[in-house]
Each structure stands twice: as structure tokens, then as C-alpha cells.
Structure 1
Amino acid sequence: MSQYPELLHTVIDTTDPRALAEFYRQLLGLRYRPGDEPSETPESQPGWLVLMDATDVRKLAFQRVDTLTRTTWPAHDIPMQMHLDFTVPNVAELQRQRQRAQSLGAQVMFDRTDDAEEPLYVFADPSGHPFCIFVA
């Protein structure tokens, strides 16, 4: 038995769990937890969805909220409160992932690709949550 709690997954609030889960599923190559997959018939808006990796480890969950105020970062009126970091091995892959993220609905909030030590982009996902992709 472990003496520490174990992280199950990170939960992200959103007004549209299916759309945001689908964004991250495609961006990160994840899959739905069994039973959370989209159905062929019209469904009511789910209140909770989970994404897992190929080894069945839960990674992200999405929880429906009625309203969600987007961050104003880099202004501090409404802070980020949290963000996700993702890494890629080189600048060419960073540029490829920028194009993928934008094609899936992300918006670039900040471009620091001119930094030779740690080039990065800060994006907003379709619900407005910030996330970074950088060369590590």
C-alpha cells in the first residue's frame, strides 16, 4: 500500500464536455473510457467524460458547468488558475503541433518560439483553458 495519494486524472470544467473531450482526444491521441464514447444516436449533453491512454491510464476528465469565464491571461484580471504542459522533441514538431492544435480549434495566446532555450506556444483550448506546447 502506498503512503501517498495517487493522481487519478485531471478534471477540466467546460460548458461542453463532449466537444472539449474530443479536442483533447484528437490532440493527444487518447481514447474514451468504455461507455463514454459518442453514440450513433443523438444524446443529451453528458456531464462527465474520461479520456485514457493506450495502457488504460486515466489522463483527463471533463465536467460540465453552466458558465465558464475565460482567462484574460497575460492580463491578470482573470488568472489561468491552472494549465497543462505538453512537450515535443524539436522545433519542427512544435510547428507541426501548432498547426494540429489550431486545426482542432485551439487559439494561440502567446508565441515564444524565438527563445533558443525553450521555444513554446501558449494556446487556449476551445473552452478557453490555457495549455503549453514546448520543446524540452
Structure 2
Amino acid sequence: MPAYPEILQTVLDTTEPRRLAEFYRQLLGYSYRDGDAPPAEDQSDDADWLVLVDANGARRLAFQCVDELPPTTWPSSEVPMQLHIDVTVADVAELEFHRDRALGMGAKLVLDRREDPDEPLYVLADPSGHPFCIFVA
């Protein structure tokens, strides 16, 4: 029997690949794959596909340009979420710190469950409207 397929990366659609890649690069501490770093200031950036890698060079997230992307209306079901990213932190202090960082980078708060005694968390939307959760593991 052949080996099972492996996930290479998760791809997010966006109307602004560079903006969204920068958001997640800063939030998660990833780097651009070789050749995907932002161009010099005097050059235009028409990237329609960008990839972020972890410290070991493994692909983690990719960003694909689309002409339009209606943001999810979650928790309402008019425009479903379809996919979201979960990230974890060690404690409530880190939870608050990273929520503030994300908001400062353009995220929007969607749900505040920091008072949940079993799993404090925030649901935020990235600059393209994709939801992601930060919670205490």
C-alpha cells in the first residue's frame, strides 16, 4: 500500500496576499520561503502566492490572491466560516498579550471567552476576515 498523503501547508484565500502573509508572519514568528520576502521599497509587489515557513523550513501557511472574498458572518450562518486556525499559548497572561498584538496588527475581536475556566480563548478575524482562535492549552 502506498504511503498516506501528507499536508504540505494550509492555504488562505485573500485579496491582499502580502498584507495577510505579514500579519501571520508577525503573529506566529514564521519567515518567508526563499524568494517570497517583500520586495525593496522602490519595487511594486504583485505577489499572488506567498508561503510562510517555520524555523525548520517546513511550509506552514500559504496565501493565494483572489478577486473578492466575502468575510464570514460567523457565528451567523449567512456566510459560513469553512476553516479557521487554532493557536495556543501557555497561560492567560500570554493570551492577553497575543490578543493585543493581533489587534494591533489589524485583527478584529469576534468572540471573548477569556473568563471560561476550562478553556479561556479569543476568536479574532485576521485582516482578510478569516477567523482564528487563540486559547490557553
Amino acid at match of 1:130: P
Equivalences for residues 1-136 of structure 1 within 5 A:
3-40=3-40, 41-136=42-137
Q: After TM superposition, where is structure 1 displaced by more than 6 Å over at least 4 residues in a row?
A: none
Q: Once the two structures are aligned, what percentage of the paired residues are identical?
A: 60
Unpaired stretches in structure 1, ≥5 consecutive residues: none
> CA offsets per residue over residues 48-86 of structure 1, 9 Å max, x none?
000001100000000000000000011111110000000
| Structure 1 range deviating more: 46-55 or 35-44 | 35-44
Distance 1:47 1:19 in 2: 11
Output the TM-score relative to the length of structure 2: 0.96
> CA offsets per residue over residues 5-47 of structure 1, 9 Å max, x none?
0110000000000000000000000000000001113224211
Amino acid at match of 1:3: A
Distance 2:37 2:3 in 1: 34
Amino acid at match of 1:131: F
Distance 2:113 2:27 in 1: 20
Report the RMSD for the aligned CA atoms in angstroms: 1.2
> CA offsets per residue over residues 86-134 of structure 1, 9 Å max, x none?
0001001000001100011101100011100000000000000000000
Amino acid at match of 2:37: E
| Structure 1 residue 2: Cα displacement | 6.4
Distance 2:26 2:115 in 1: 27
Preserved contact between residue 15 and residue 128 of structure 2 (Cα < 8 Å)? yes
Distance 1:31 1:2 in 2: 32
Distance 1:118 1:44 in 2: 40
Alignment: residue pair count:
136
